[in-house]
Amino acid sequence: MLRVIIQHSAELVAFIQALDLALYKPQKRHLLHIMDALLMHSNRKTLSALYRLLARVPGPKAAADFFRESPWQVEAISKPRQRFMLHKLLAFAQQIGLASAIYVSIDDSLGKKGKATRHLEAVAYHHNHNESSRKKQAYTNGYVYVEVHLQIGPLGFLFDTRLYLREKTVRRLNRKRSPENRLHYHSKYHLAREMLVELAEMLPKGYHVYVLFDSWYASAKLIKFSRRQHWHVISAIKRNRRIDQKRIDQHNQALRHKPYQRVTLEAADAAHKTRTYLVRTVNGAMADGVGEVRALISKRHKRDKRPRYFICTDLRLSAVEILKIYQKRWPVEVDNFYLKQALGLGDFRLQSFEATEKWFAVVTLALNYLQYQHAQAYLQGQTSASLADSIRQHRLGHFRTLLRTVIAEALRTGQVDAAVDNILVATEWAIV
């Protein structure tokens, strides 16, 4: 395999140094090795595969010990990362004159592992919402995490991710653990709330914050928590939620003879494509002490028997504004794609839950680096740049360094074949 990483990217080194991480120098070196290789490798990102890209570094056993044995905590990376990225996001937004509205999206995602995977503590069978139907429920062996994403205009970043374990899984794992090492069960609501608490502590005053989530997170507790922070909520809700003591689907029936408002939106996942929805609005008090909300009943066409329902706690917004803001949840799906497909979030083979949490922290940091590079490119006028462009530029930089190294060695020694053999460690090339 071609050891393509001769020396680390200067931009990546500067990024890690700017975070001022509370890690020892050997730990920072392993962090740098793994992040650089994550960005370079395009196939399954096992530690062995990652370290085969690095020249003059120890074997993958040292990388495994970085996650399993090295005495550092996830907070040593996550806290400085969150502060740095939030500070840069606000500074970049102010620099280009974006509005002072911050959109905070909450979601969770299921990643699949092989059916035979049994001994990784972070892996268990979870309910699969996407593959389930009303007649049959589907369960998938894999891992689940909750995430929070921040967005201001076209700029945004993944604030944090938290691994989720079922209560049944926590009980099973604790049977084999000593009392001081036992895990504690946290529901998805509590994981989301913990991240929002951290955000509230870091976020300066004076910003209008909208918290966005789907119907699975539209609990009264989470809505009321957001309102106590003086944040507004825009959320999808299920049809049995009550507005003015009446189910929202009953409001839909009561308004069946009323005219619709046509709302045309640009599709979030495709450029220059629009979709028109038929919308009715209901104002009233939501149950469970949430307070006054504006509810929307949205249909794709007049005969749509499964409309979608939304609520908004900001009564000043129109139906068009509410739906446009709700569309800003789309970057969460982009985060999930890059975490899983480009950065190998699900390629971990670490047995303990704590080691897997560290893997998640490193992969999240790698995604933040790409988002930081993307924001800088946007500020330089490259408005059409994407995270894929950041990965491409990172890989091109390493290939340039590799070519310079081979050419310089060939010019110095006058032996082209020997210079090439010093770089290749196998006859089969696996350029990534």
Give the domain CATH number at 148. 3.90.350.10
Q: What is the pLDDT of residue 432?
A: 34
Within-domain flag for 368: no
In Å, how far are 4, 107, 172, 304 from 168, measured between CA atoms?
Answer: 44, 22, 6, 39
Give the pLDDT score at 414: 82
The pLDDT of residue 289 is 85
Give the whole-angstrom CA distance, residue 15 versus residue 157. Answer: 15
- The Cα 381–Cα 398 span in angstroms is 24
Classify residue 166: in a domain, yes or no: yes
E-assigned strands of 257-403? 261-266, 274-286, 291-299, 308-312
Residue 260 confidence (pLDDT): 94
Q: Which of 337, 362, 397 is the last residue of a domain?
A: 337
Residue 46 lies in a domain: yes
Which residue bears the tokens 């049959």? 136
**49 and 141 co-located in one domain:** no
The pLDDT value recorded for residue 426 is 34
Q: Which residues, in sequence order, are CB contacts of 387 under 8 Å at separation 6+? A: 334, 338, 342, 367, 370, 371, 374
Contacts of residue 246, Cβ cutoff 8 Å, sequence gap at least 6? 254
Tracing tokens 């009321």 back to the chain, one arrives at 224
Question: How far lies 189's CA from each of 85, 132, 217, 353, in Å?
Answer: 24, 22, 7, 20
Residues 197 and 318 in one domain: yes
**pLDDT tens sequence for the chain (432 residues):** 577 888 899 999 999 999 999 999 999 999 999 999 999 998 899 999 999 888 877 778 889 999 999 999 999 999 999 999 999 999 999 998 887 799 999 999 999 999 999 899 999 999 998 888 888 999 999 999 999 999 999 999 999 999 999 999 999 999 999 999 999 999 999 999 999 999 999 999 889 999 999 999 999 999 999 999 999 999 999 999 999 999 999 999 999 889 999 999 988 776 678 999 999 999 999 988 899 999 999 999 999 999 999 999 999 999 999 999 999 999 999 999 999 999 999 999 999 999 999 999 999 999 999 999 999 999 998 888 899 999 999 999 999 988 888 888 788 888 888 777 776 643 233 333
Q: Which two tokens stand for residue 169?
A: 């899984």
Cα–Cα distance measured from residue 287 to residue 248, given in angstroms and rounded to the nearest whole number = 11
Can you tell me the distance from the alpha carbon of 231 to that of 207, in angstroms, rounded to the nearest whole number? 9
Report the b/e string of 233-247 with b at 16+ CB within 10 A: bbbbbebebbbeeeb
Structure tokens that stand for 271 in this block: 């450029």
Whether residue 157 sits in one domain with residue 51: no
In a domain, 204, yes or no: yes
Say if residue 91 is in the same domain as residue 237.
Answer: yes
398 touches 5 (CB < 8 A):
yes
My answer on whether 250 and 263 are in the same domain is: yes
DSSP letter at 175? T
Is residue 417, in this structure, part of any structural domain at all?
yes
Token pair listed for 68? 């399993």
* Same-domain status, 107 and 16: no
Gap between the Cα atoms of 250 and 304, Å rounded: 15
pLDDT of residue 191: 97
Please report whether residue 431 resides in a domain: no
Residue 356 falls within a domain, yes or no?
no
Domain identity same for 252 and 306:
yes
Residues 6+ apart with CB under 8 A from 354: none
Total count of domains within the chain? 2
Are 232 and 272 members of one domain? yes
CA distance 178 to 170: 13
Say what the pLDDT of residue 270 is.
Answer: 64
Domain C-terminal end among 308, 337, 366: 337
Do the Cβ atoms of 233 and 291 come closer than 8 Å? Answer: no
313: its two tokens: 């706690």
Instruction: Assess whether 98 and 227 both reside in one domain.
Output: yes
Q: Which domain holds residue 236?
A: 75-337
Cα(127)–Cα(149) distance, integer angstroms: 23
Domain co-membership, 254 together with 325: yes
- Residue at which a domain ends, from 304, 337, 370: 337
**Are residue 51 and residue 143 in the same domain, yes or no?**
no
Question: Which of 301, 300, 283, 303 is CA-nearest to residue 292?
Answer: 283
Per the domain annotation, does 345 fall within a domain? no
Same domain, 24 and 147: no
